[in-house]
Each structure stands twice: as C-alpha cells, then as structure tokens.
Structure 1
C-alpha cells in the first residue's frame, strides 16, 4: 500500500476505536449497541492489517490476545446471564438507578453492550487472522 493509504489508516483507526467505545457505552440511549460497536472495532484493526500488512500488525495485536479477549468476553456474557437468573430471570435487569437518559439508566444493558462489542470485535478479528494464516500458507 502507498504511504497515503497507510498514513490515512493510522489517522482514521483511532477515531473508529473512539466511536466504537461511544456506541458500547451509549448504545442503550441511541441507535447502535454492542454488535455495531464490535464490527467498527474490528474494522479499525482490519484496516491496519490491510494497509500495513499482517506480519507488522500481528506484533501489536497478537493472535493469542485476540483469543483471550474473545474468551473472556464470552465468559462475561454467560456470567451476566447466570447472575441475572439469581435475581429473577435470564438477563433480568437487576441493576437499578440513574435518571432517564443518563449513562447509568440502562441497568445491565451497557454491560451487555460492552461484552457483545468485545466478543464481536474479537471474533471478526480472529476470523480475519485465520483467513490470513490460510492465505499465508498458499
């Protein structure tokens, strides 16, 4: 890739990560949420991979770290569902508080959005890594 593409990607990727974080945190107040945030997070990493090359980017975003994030976020989501069972139902909103329209008004929904975003982002990145490994062997 050219210098312009690599430089632009380096400039755009942090904004994508910030927007993804915004969707994770405020997804229960506006359209968006965990899945969209995860896809945007994965796109920021995939852009870096396609512009700078797999070998250079995997030094920063290691394969085992992506696997760890995916596994931990999966365990977090299952734990959130099981803890909710103790309070009255599967994914029951057991956290109360906050005023309408505030960040803390969503109960467990922001936590769920964060878990889903990390799971989706790591899964897409993980799949991209696996596809690149397969292409690398050819």
Structure 2
C-alpha cells in the first residue's frame, strides 16, 4: 500500500538528511555522544522510511535485498580483521592508529554499516514473510 503524496514527498526530503546525520554520528562518535550503533540505526531508518512510504516493490529495485546482505556480511568480516590487526599490534582491538580517535573511528563506521545493514536486512525478511501471506 502506497502512502499519500505528502508522505512520499516528505520522506524523499527527509531521507538524505537522515543519511547525513547517520554519517555524522559514525564519523564523530569518538568526540561526541553517539557512534556506530546509533548511526547505523538512523541509516536503517532512512531506508525503512522509503520502503514504508513508497512500497516494497518500488524500493526493492534500488535497494536490493542482496546489497543489505553483502554490506552486513562484509562489515562483519571487517570487524574481525580489525580485531586481528589489533592483535598483531599487541592486544585485541589495540589502538594501533596514530590519529585523534585511533581505532575508534574505523570501528564506529564499520559498526554503523553492520547495524544499518542488519536492521534493513531484518526488515526485508519480515516484508518477504508478510508479502508471501
């Protein structure tokens, strides 16, 4: 079921701001409150808003189910690799980067991608289940 024109237009206008705010939270989570999990949830909300306002079939053409699965699994692999590189540097998830945030910045971005893709993936699975009834 598609929503009204007002809801669809507002969702199209709000979604880019949600994605931008999610990226901000992931990139500056080591400086301010927030981080990867919060940014990932907001990233997933942007996609879920588009799905609920425009309909599953229309959004499915642009945001494929396989993309969410690929992003979710590759982010998990990157988290493991980050831990292994830290282990080789001296301790598990050791701060081996000589930057302001150290390892926290890439960790937040990877966790944000993992959480955002996982929530979108779960939403797609629930929609497939509802669609089959």
Of 113, 119, 122, which aligns to 1:118?
113
Does 2:56 correspond to 1:54?
Answer: yes
Residue 96 (structure 1) shift? 1.2
Partner of 1:28: 30
Query: Which residue matches 1:17?
Result: 19
Extract unaligned runs of 5+ from structure 1. 98-104
Unaligned runs of 5+ in 2: none
Out of 112, 125, 130, which is 1:130 matched to?
125
**Aligned length in residues:** 131
Cα offset, 1:117, TM superposition: 0.2
Structure 1 stretches of 4+ with a deviation exceeding 4 A read: none
Q: Return the TM-score normalized by structure 2.
A: 0.97
User: Equivalences for 1:28-107 in 2 at 5 Å?
Assistant: 28-97=30-99, 105-107=100-102
Secondary structure at 2:67's aligned position in 1? helix
Equivalent of residue 5 in structure 1, options 7, 14, 26: 7
1:64 CA displacement: 0.6
What TM-score results when the alignment is normalised by the length of structure 1? Answer: 0.94
CA distance in 1, matches of 2:7, 2:19: 18
* Separation in 1, partners of 2:73, 2:26: 18
